[in-house]
Amino acid sequence: MTGRSTLEPRPAPVHWPGEPSDDEAARPPAPALVEDAPGVHGRVARSLARRLAEAVEGSDAPDVVFAVSRHGRRTVMSGGTAGRRPLPREALRYEVGSAGKTFTGLLLARLIHSGALTGGEPAAVLLDAARPAGAHPVTLAHLITHTSGLPALPPGFLRRALPAWHTNPYARFPAEQVVRAFLRHRPRHRPGTRWCYSNYGVAVLGHALAAATGTPWERLLTEQVLSPLGLTGTTLHAHGPETDAPGHAKDGRTPVPAFDAGGFQAAGAVRATPGDLLAFLEAHLDPAGAEGASPSLAAALRAVRRPVLRRGLTHRHVHTIAWFRHPTDGGPMYFHSGATLGQQAFLGFRPDTGTALAAVCTRRFRAHDPFVAGAYRLLAEA
């Protein structure tokens, strides 16, 4: 692990019970196909299945799932180098790392559209009511758009995390440490003037939202986003090999502990089944039709598709409060990737083609890793 945060997005140009035998390990099974709509046939469906199988095999990870929805019709392909599993891979929960920030962005949007917040509230005042806002406060909007002026990680993080650097560094920096660091230190830059991707900033946002609503973070996210969308396979904690896929190191063989986000829950604690991730994305494609979506949640689902920030030369990098947005020939695609110490994820959707893609794998990110690039390419060419 380097000094770079394992939760950062890496967009493209952006021990299980019963170990397999030696023969099984040497010859992993072909990717397994699960179709939600068995009546879908023809050249397009066969082409999609072939491309998903290629993406699964090319990811070179112990466990891989690529799940695609086209106008509500789902195709799920799973496989991996670890051989067959006691449980279907698509039934397990996976760590999504920074891709979980899209849940945080949607939560903030819902609180704004319900009238509970405006997004302009100073985070420090929410966390300490006796503190004056100051001339240039860090607002909730600054935190979610990575324009707060905060660094990627809080002061003191490396020193505290070093003993667990290769296992669970974030677990050693609990919520009180995140809040204390924020209240004690000034941002490096004036808020709103520079873009710098910050796990620290989104973690602070989570604590500020919990303080503003008087509701613990996990309960707040569950009540406002997970339960209304019916995401019963999504949680913030691992519960064991019966429900959670195990992560692996770069070699694809060495198991790593389940990720513990510590005080960074809002920045990357989400773990979910591929089916739940696909349902989450489908809700973005059809806010009005999202099951259980109230008017404020439907409005939030529409709001997180609107650009709020452009940066870089010619302003080519476009962001919403939850997603990276890139152009395609037919219209914009929205996506976010994520990585923990032993897993990776890619979430994305395209309104122009009615396509959603959720991809997960259980190998730590490596240089020139094919997984995220392959998932990005699949969505871009959908």
Mean pLDDT of the residues in the chain: 89
Q: One-letter amino acid identity for 37?
A: A
Residue 98 has pLDDT above 90, yes or no: yes
Q: DSSP 3-state assignment of 355?
A: strand
Residue 20 has pLDDT above 80, yes or no: no
Q: Give me the mean pLDDT over the 299-328 stretch.
A: 93
Question: Left (φ > 0), alpha (ψ -120 to 50) or beta: where does 350 sit?
Answer: beta
Angle at which helices 175-184 and 199-213 cross, to 10°: 100
Judged by average pLDDT, the poorest of 29-43, 221-235, 293-307 is 29-43
pLDDT in tens, 335-375: 999 999 999 999 999 999 999 999 999 999 999 999 999 99
Q: Give me the mean pLDDT over the 120-148 stretch.
A: 95
Measured CA distances, 126 to 145, 206, 213, 279 (Å): 18, 11, 10, 32
Spatial distance between the Cα atoms of 55 and 377, rounded to a whole number of angstroms? 10
Beta bridge partners of 234: 272
Residue 114 has pLDDT above 60, yes or no: yes
- The distance between the two most distant Cα atoms of the chain, rounded to a whole number of Å, is 67
In this structure, the number of other CB atoms found within 10 A of the CB of residue 131 comes to: 13
Q: Which residue has better confidence, 1 or 363?
A: 363
For the range 251-258, what are the long-range contacts, defined as Cβ-Cβ under 8 Å and sequence gap of 24 or more?
252/60, 252/61, 252/62, 252/81, 252/363, 253/62, 255/15, 255/342, 256/167, 256/341, 256/342, 256/364, 257/167, 257/168, 257/341, 257/342, 258/95
> pLDDT band at residue 69, thresholds of 50, 70 and 90?
very high
Rg of the chain, C-alpha, whole Å:
20
Spatial distance between the Cα atoms of 232 and 172, rounded to a whole number of angstroms? 28
pLDDT at res. 180: 97
Spatial distance between the Cα atoms of 306 and 318, rounded to a whole number of angstroms? 10
- Cβ atoms 357, 316 nearer than 8 A: no
pLDDT in tens, 30-55: 566 665 545 544 567 788 989 999 99
